[in-house]
Amino acid sequence: MVRATPDPATDQDAGTPQSLGAAALHPAVWHHQQFTVSHSFPVVFTSGLFDPVNPVLIDVLSRHEADRQHRCLVFVDEGIAAARPRLVDEIKAYAGRHAARMALVGEPVIVPGGEKIKVELHFVEGMQRRLFEHRIDRHSYVIAVGGGAMLDAVGLVAATTHRGVRHIRVPTTVLSQNDSGVGVKNGVNLYEQKNFVGTFAPPFAVLNDIDFIDVLPPRDRIAGMAEAVKVALIRDGEFFRWLEANADRLVLFERPAMAHMIRRCAELHMRQIAKGGDPFETGSARPLDFGHWAAHKLESLTRYHLRHGEAVAIGMALDIRYSVLRGLLDEAAERRVRFLLDHLGFRLWHPALEKTLPDGRHAVLEGLREFREHLGGELTITLLSELGVGIEVHEIDEDMMRRAIAEIRERSAA
């Protein structure tokens, strides 16, 4: 819908001045264009996604055009390909079983996972060339099977090819199934800045297969739980209490507990994106980035030796301690969070917290400036007022934050 709205300085006849002065010297015709775009995509929780008798994938491919063969280009994270050596054959067998409605344009393509695919841009160019060579169009599908970093990179490729081709995410890690995979962001790193190049582009579908979690190394299964703790702390005190009550089962990676944790965490992220009022982050608040201003900086300071979830756990510990020092949160609540994170297997200290710049400032505090620049507005940091309730603040006392760092170190040494 296009609505022509007269400028306050002009009358109903566009360009006719109501008063002399600047408006008369520089007449202007204003048109305010307004339209609403509705985004909707399925997020499915299943098992055995590539079992030929599982209808989820083929039903998703056919949800807009049921009676046609759909061309698909599949990218597979090298980490999951190594953990499940028959995965590529399973994908090919699935396509063969459903050949009337699904056709692979070529062999599934193995690509790097983790931050490597996000920091070396030739991987993005190489994937885009694959789409070009296979003549992927806006009615074809790009299917990404992998962890969050790989999904970010493939999502960027899909979103920028022909201004957007259909992209199906198949997350294979705890972190991508319960957090990043169900979001609407894509991106890669540049100039040592996390996600400096990226897009907001909702996927065509997200298909979560719990079987992929079973083959993850323990470290990666643990790291992904940080996002569940995060979203519980800022949005759902009842879920936080569930995490406390089920910590022993989560530590043992019991499938029912892991499945519930992943699904509830994903639901809370989806609810925030859909109903938080700012799905494409045009404002300055980022409640889902609780603990992330420090986490992103710690990742770069450690050259990504810290997993994202491990850095988020440390970032949360830092912001929670700061919340206590600010008088926003009581000590008892902080102890509960620390106990849960410790019990799940997180280390809440890393020497990178004490790295300094030439002027003597803590390097991690540069994360505040970088976070504000990423927001594009005023600094907005989420702290805690109680378990399950986040609160936004617009300034951070660096002296108090340095005190929080020192106290976290003292506790880690105790």
Q: 343-374 as b/e, with b when 16 or more CB fall inside 10 Å? A: ebbbebbbebbeeeeeeeebbbbebbebbbeb
**Chain segment 378-393, per-residue pLDDT in tens:** 889 999 999 999 999 9
Q: Hey, is 66 helix, strand or coil?
A: coil
Phi-psi sector, 58: left (phi>0), alpha (psi -120 to 50), beta: alpha
pTM of the model: 0.87
**Same domain for 338 and 390?**
yes
CATH number at residue 101: 3.40.50.1970
How many domains does one find in the chain? Answer: 3
Q: In which domain, by residue range, is 368 found? A: 218-413
User: What is the gyration radius of the CA atoms in the chain, in angstroms?
Assistant: 24
Answer for the pair 400, 368: CB distance below 8 angstroms, yes or no: no
Secondary structure of residue 180 in the 3-state scheme:
helix
Helices 237-245, 218-235: crossing angle, 10 deg rounding: 140
Q: What is the pLDDT of residues 17-59, one digit of tens each?
A: 455 566 678 888 999 998 888 888 999 999 999 999 999 999 9
Q: Any idea what DSSP says for residue 209? A: E
Structure tokens at 240: 């936080």
Q: Contact, 211 vs 47, CB < 8 A?
A: yes
What is the predicted pLDDT for the residue at 376? Answer: 67
Residue whose C-alpha is closest to residue 347's, from 270, 411, 397: 411
Same domain, 129 and 224: no
Question: pLDDT tens digit string along 108-166?
Answer: 999 999 888 998 889 999 999 999 999 999 999 999 999 999 999 999 999 999 999 99
Question: Do both 233 and 121 map to the same domain?
Answer: no
- Kindly tell me the burial class for residue 256, based on how many C-beta atoms sit within 10 Å of its own C-beta (0-12, 13-18, 19 or more): exposed
What is the full DSSP assignment across 284-326? S--GGGTTHHHHHHHHHHTTT-S-HHHHHHHHHHHHHHHHHHT
Q: What is the pLDDT of residue 277?
A: 64
Distance CA 43, CA 310 (A): 26
Residues 302, 371, single domain; the answer is: yes
Are 27 and 150 in the same domain? Answer: no
The answer on 180 and 90 residing in a single domain is: yes
Look at residue 390 in the predicted model and tell me its pLDDT.
Answer: 94
Across the chain, what does the average pLDDT equal?
A: 90
Of residues 414 and 349, which shows the higher confidence score? 349
